[in-house]
Amino acid sequence: MMTYIVFILSVIFVVSFVGFSSKPSPIYGGLVLIVSGGVGCGIIMNFGGSFLGLMVFLIYLGGMLVVFGYTTAMATEQYPEVWVSNTTVMGVFLLGLLMEVMLVLYVLKSEEVGVVFKFSGVGDWAIYDTGDSGVFSEEIMGVAALYSYGAWVVIVTGWSLLVGVLVVLEVTRGD
Amino acid sequence: MNPLIFTTILMTVLLGTMIVMMSSHWLMIWIGFEMNLLAIIPILMKKYNPRTMEASTKYFLTQATASMLLMMAIIINLMHSGQWTIMKVFNPTASIIMTSALAMKLGLTPFHFWVPEVTQGISLTSGLILLTWQKLAPMSILYQISPSINLNILLTMAVLSILVGGWGGLNQTQLRKIMAYSSIAHMGWMTAVLAYNPTLTMLNMLIYIMMTLTMFMLFIHSSSTTTLSLSHTWNKTPLTTTLILITLLSMGGLPPLSGFMPKWMIIQELTKNSSIILPTLMAIMALLNLYFYMRLTYSTSLTMFPSTNNMKMKWQFETKRITLLPPLIVMSSLLLPLTPMLSILD
């Protein structure tokens, strides 16, 4: 099972995405986001990126999702919608689950899968320790590169986040 | 809106388009598109009534979908070519997905349905920014990937856009919807020649922006958003009726005016590449466009449109001063003799 751990985690990832895209109440969407955040962290950690995975937990789940949870709890309604309360929501969820199950069976059964692009069965997800990563781990080098060669990206994303806050405040200001 | 915030948000719109146009990494281009989209939403929503909010929501949804498709095409391109540099797209699937994404951003058929509705729901100045500045970024990406675009899809979208732009504008009396359909048709002309000679796409974009800026500024000057309201300009500023006449005929592509230049060059380029039926069809469908422009000029400058006596005096607080209007009018009507200069666009 450990060879295919990334495959299993990515299936759970997609299922939780289906869970919140079928639009239950935001509280339950946040619940599923926690699951998908944790699973995503697991995927990243399996590729050796322990720093980034822990950052997902700390900043994304422990910072942003907590704030989201509190604000949604303040703005929630008396009987929030669950996946089984509304026929439409349940229908969409089941449809998404069905499509994922069919895709997983397709991947498990056949040698080569070509949906939009080709990949060779489940083997593409197993992680082999090929290649010499050298003395330094790649992922810390990536973070270091972000702050040295990628300074422009940091500036642009920082500016986008600032303008994002301004835009949201402007849009919700009303008259 | 607070002037400081408004300036910041407007500068971010400009910054977003600049990042798209000058980046060489696909991810930065995507970031530029998202920044542009994020920052233009409050500009579209300047007045807080349900119509503007609905229009901004529609715009956001379509453009976000297009950005997602663009990201998917970028990732497929990455998988097949292993690099992130902007050049022609190596995989046919990625090329088709990217072309559809950029067509959604531009408002080409069959993704044109948002253009009239969004343009109608927002104020004239916001509509101006929407129809001119927002077309620059996707068109620059189309220019850069033009060697690898599937010709069948591109030409089908172009011809259908010209048809829809002409046909859809026929039944409109609201000026913003007329300008929206005119934008769809002009985008069709621009993308038709993209595979043959992308310089002419840029020429058409330049002249289209000038003419649309002029038209919108004339509408803002007379504060009119319907044909009926525009037909009262003879009472307020008689000079602008002549200017509206000239600019509208230039948009329709009539010869001694500068709007003829891109159409002429595009038809010439298409016939040089041995496609005869296509430019014939395009020229015939441009007549539909010309018809509703001429209907506007008929009601505005050529006749005194019938209305009750109390509607003839238009009330406004003070004359808006639009500094850039006279040079724009001159440029959008008198540029035809400068056609040999288009070699500088290479």
Q: Any idea which of A98-107, B3-12, B259-268, B313-322 has the lowest mean pLDDT?
A: B313-322
**A141 and A122 in one domain?**
no
Strand residues in chain B grouped as ranges (E): none
d(CA B118, CA A160): 24
CB B42 to CB A170 under 8 A?
yes
* Per-residue pLDDT reduced to its tens digit, B115-153: 999 999 999 999 999 899 999 999 999 999 999 999 999
> By residue range, what is the domain housing residue A111?
2-128
Q: Which residues of chain A have pLDDT under 50?
A: none
State yes or no: cis peptide before B110, omega within 30 of 0. yes
SS3 content of chain B, % helix, strand, coil (to 5): 75, 0, 20
- Residue B338: which residues within 8 A CB-CB, separation 6 or more? none
Q: Which two tokens stand for residue A62?
A: 């422990």
The β-bridge partners of B174 are B226
CB pairs under 8 A between A and B: 48
pLDDT for the residue numbered A124: 64
In B82-174, where does DSSP find H-type helix? Answer: 92-106, 114-121, 124-144, 151-168
- Please indicate whether residue A23 or residue B307 has the higher confidence score (pLDDT): A23
B42/B9 Cα distance (integer angstroms): 8
pLDDT of B9 strictly over 80: yes
How far apart, in Å, are the Cα atoms of A36 and each of A10, A15, A19, A53, B284?
9, 9, 10, 12, 55
Q: B314: which DSSP letter?
A: P
| pLDDT digits 0-9 by tens, B72-102 | 999 999 988 888 998 888 889 899 999 999 9
Name the 3-class secondary structure at A1.
coil
Q: Are strands A118-119 and A113-114 parallel, antiparallel or unpaired?
A: antiparallel
Quick: pLDDT tens for A53-69.
898 889 999 999 999 99
CA–CA separation, B295 and B231 (whole Å): 11
Between B66 and B339, name the one with better pLDDT: B66
> Under an 8 A CB cutoff, do B76 and A170 touch?
no
Q: How many residues does chain B have?
A: 346
Q: Do A167 and B93 touch (CB under 8 A)?
A: no
Q: Which two tokens stand for residue B244?
A: 């509206």
Task: Measure CB to CB from residue A166 to each of B5, B19, B31 and give the nearest one.
Answer: B5
A162 and A143 within one domain: yes
Task: Please name the helix (run of DSSP H) or strand (run of DSSP E) that holds residue A102, with its range, or none.
Answer: helix A87-109
Q: How many structural domains compose chain A? A: 2
**In a shared domain, residues A23 and A82:** yes
Which chain B residues contact residue A175 at CB under 8 A? 48
Are the beta carbons of A167 and B41 separated by less than 8 Å? Answer: yes
Nearest CA to CA, how far is A35 from chain B (Å)? 23
Please give the pLDDT value at position B10. 94
Q: SS3 breakdown of chain A: % helix, strand, coil, rounded to 5?
A: 75, 0, 25
How far is it, in rounded angstroms, from Cα B169 to Cα B184?
10
- The answer on A28 and A45 residing in a single domain is yes
Question: Based on the domain organization, do A124 and A151 belong to the same domain?
Answer: no
Question: Residue A160: its pLDDT value, please?
Answer: 95
Query: At B122, phi and psi to the nearest 5?
Result: -115, 170
User: Which of B43, B342, B106, B8 has its CA nearest to residue A166?
Assistant: B8
Shared domain for A30 and A93, answered yes or no, is yes
Bridge partners of residue B25, in order along the sequence? B85
Does A7 share its domain with A51?
Answer: yes
Which whole-number Å values give the CA distances from B293 to A96, B224, B232, B329, in the listed order? 49, 16, 17, 16
**β-bridge mates for residue A113, sequence order:** A119
B254: left (phi over 0), alpha (psi -120 to 50) or beta: beta
Residues A74 and A145 in one domain: no
Cα angle, residue B261 at apex, residues B256 and B263 outer, rounded to 5°: 115
Q: What is the pLDDT of residue B180?
A: 96
Contact A151, B110 (CB under 8 A): no
> Of A146-155, B31-40, B266-275, which range is least confident?
A146-155
| Torsion from C-alpha of B192, B189, B291, B279, nearest 10 degrees | -40
Within this chain, do residues A8 and A46 fall inside the same structural domain, yes or no?
yes
pLDDT of residue B202: 92
pLDDT at residue B49 is higher than 70: yes
Decide if A154 touches B, using CB distance below 8 A. Answer: no
Do residues A43 and A122 both lie within one domain? yes
- Residue B174 DSSP SS3: strand
Residues A118 and A150 in one domain: no
Give how far A150 is from chain B: nearest CA, Å: 11
**Residues B252, B259 contacting (CB under 8 angstroms):** yes
Inter-chain contact B38–A160, Cβ cutoff 8 Å? Answer: yes
3-state secondary structure A24-49: CCHHHHHHHHHHHHHHHHHHHHHCCC
Look at residues B106, B70, B288 and name the one whose alpha carbon lies nearest to residue B192: B106
Mean pLDDT (chain B) is 91
Does residue A103 sit in the same domain as residue A147?
Answer: no
Contact across the interface for A175 and B48, Cβ inside 8 Å:
yes
The β-bridge partners of A118 are: A114
